[in-house]
Amino acid sequence: MKLILVRHGETLWNRENRIQGHTDVELSDDGRMQVKKLALSMEKDKIDAIYSSPLKRAYDTAQAIARFHDTEIKVEPKLRELNHGDFESLTIQELKETHGAFLKEWIENPASVVMPNGESLAQVQERVWDVMGMILETSRDTLVVSHGMAIMTILCKIQNLSLSNARQMFVNMASKTVVSFESGQGTVLLLNDISHLNEII
């Protein structure tokens, strides 16, 4: 089976380097153009099932892709982004000024921290993988639209990597990553592809 992992398009908070996590921020105008290009690049892909985070930025991305496929979008709350707790809505600069030591640890060893009144990467991976396990049992070619940190934890799990390596699995906004599964083993065929964003439409 084939698994396509897509990160949502840009929001204004992304552009402002503002932490959004569980906050339900909509796509920006540029984000809508990104997902239009992404959807067109996937028009002829075989997609039997589509799963999406319920957050608008992800669901609207899934809708843009689903227009080309006769497939209902299944909304899965467990595909939401990392809950940043007390840090939601802060800019990275504000976080640097108020919680510099925490930010340094988060950047250098993301697996070691828990967001105050939020989640750790391990908690995100556990809930996201509940959905992934269900998807893999179906053996259907599946699109999953989610968020940066959530997708990074999925890719770590597939490749048997520690979550301390999560940042090596970074995915851009409106990117697609393709994984092939044979006998339960996943092989990353395409990582963080954003070539479609250069297309003129």
Question: What are the DSSP calls for 45-76, one per residue?
Answer: S--SEEEE-SSHHHHHHHHHHHTTSS-PEEE-
Catalytic amino acids?
8, 147
Q: Say how many C-beta atoms besides its own lie within 10 A of residue 46's C-beta.
A: 10
Q: Say how many C-beta atoms besides its own lie within 10 A of residue 92's C-beta.
A: 13
Instruction: Output the CA–CA distances (angstroms, integers) from residue 92 to 7, 13, 83, in the order listed.
Output: 20, 11, 15
Whole-angstrom distance, CA of residue 172 vs CA of residue 147: 10
Name residue 195's amino acid: S
Question: What are the DSSP calls for 68-99, one per residue?
Answer: TSS-PEEE-GGGSPP--GGGTT-BHHHHHHHS
Q: Decide if 28 contacts 57 (C-beta within 8 A).
A: no
